[in-house]
Structures are given as C-alpha cells and as structure tokens.
Amino acid sequence: MAEPARQLDVIDARPAFTQADADALNARFDGVDALTMLKTVFAEGLAGKVAVVSSFGTESAVLLDLVARADTSVPVIFVDTLKMFAETLNYRDTLISRMGFINSRSVTPDADVLAKKDETGLRWSYDPDGCCDIRKVEPMNRAKQGLDAWISGRKAFQSTTRQNMPRFEVEDGRLKINPLGDWTKDDLEAYFAEHDLPRHPLEAQGYLSVGCEPCTSKVLPGEDPRAGRWRGWDKVECGIHSPVTPIPVPSVDPEDPANQPVF
C-alpha cells in the first residue's frame, strides 16, 4: 500500500493586508458614512481580527460610540503608560460602561524594562521619545500581536502631520482604519451634542488633547489642538502613529545603460 504523500509544513509569512487591499477598501467606502462603513467592515469580516485602540482623550467618545453602535463585541485596547491623568482612567471606565463594550483591556509597560530604562520615572523630562517608546510603543506592539487590523481615532485636522489621511492604510502588514480621518472639529462637536456623550473632565480646563500627565499642557487660543502635547520639544507624535506612504514603483528605462546587462 502506497504511503500518503508527504505534506510540508508551510508558514505563511505574507502580510494580512497590502496597499492594494487598502486602496480597494478606500474606493469601496468613498463617500460612505463612518457608521455604515464600520457596520459593513465588521459584518463582512473585511478587517479580519480587529480591535479599536483608544486613548480615552477629549475626542475619543465619538469613535467609541460609533464602534459600539456597530458591534459592542469589538475589543477595545487602552495603553496605560502609568503616567495617565486620574481623570482619564475614570473617563475610560465611564465610557466602557455606558457604551456596553464586552471586551476591553489595558496594556501597561514591561516592569523589567521600566526598571532598567526609567528607574526614576523621570525619563519623560529629558528623553520624551525614549519614554514614549517604552511606555506606549512597546506595549502597543504587544497588544497588536495577533490582530489583522486596528481602528484609530486620528483626524486630519488635529495637526499638519495628519493631513491627507486615508480611511484605510497599511502599517507593518496590518490594516489601519481611520473612520474619522476626514471629520472636522465641528463634525465632532455636533456628534457629541446629538448623542449627549460625556466629555473628558479636563477639556473644560483647556486640555484639548490629553496624553500622559507630565507631557500634557493646556492649549492657548489659536494654537493647534495638539500644541499642548510635549510642549517645548520638537515632537508631535508618541510613535504609535507613524506616517504611512506606499513605496513607489520605480519606472525602468530599458535604454538606460544602468539597466543593461553587464555581460
């Protein structure tokens, strides 16, 4: 009796999504409202294993409300840097309870890494990039393991580094979804009012963008909404969000001597 053909174990190392996938999704949902888009993405499984990442900042309630209206079983991930405002932690609990999410979790920095790289807890004061790396970026990378896609609350109007933001983009092989990318501040305010959403308690005090307590200050009239983050430093992002630009395909001129065979 012939032995069955040997089957080789193959590890599929291909990314979950490519830029072509993101382009197709951007085309499909062009002009579709954010809630309808989210409902369709979840119902059809277009994003695979997906979670929403929230900072529970001053504008976070809008995205969380939209996701909850679409599917309350979508996981909610919060990166607790252990430097957060107490008001933010309380706001997190309020929103999760009110919106009925059934799967929420917080991720924190690695204790051993903190002991080695931020023993005093003051790294934010002399190396904010390094502090963000160990307190936000590394925990976030751990949280994203096993995910095919994640949902971000970024908006293009928040700063010049976030302009021309697509709804769907690819980062490290994962799909990154920005449902509010084209929303304006007026759009957010109207949504807050229409759905009577609770506000972050620090917003009324002038904190228009809330991150870690040591690196967050009030925003002055006329300033960029994120001007109060890392004030005095040449820094506008924590590192969780990085610009994603598709690598262009170079045009090849067959007549160029550089493209001719050596032999």
User: Is 212 in the active site?
Assistant: no
Q: Which of 132, 212, 215, 238 is catalytic?
A: 238
| Contact present, 126 and 42 (Cβ < 8 Å) | no
| Residues labelled as active-site residues | 238
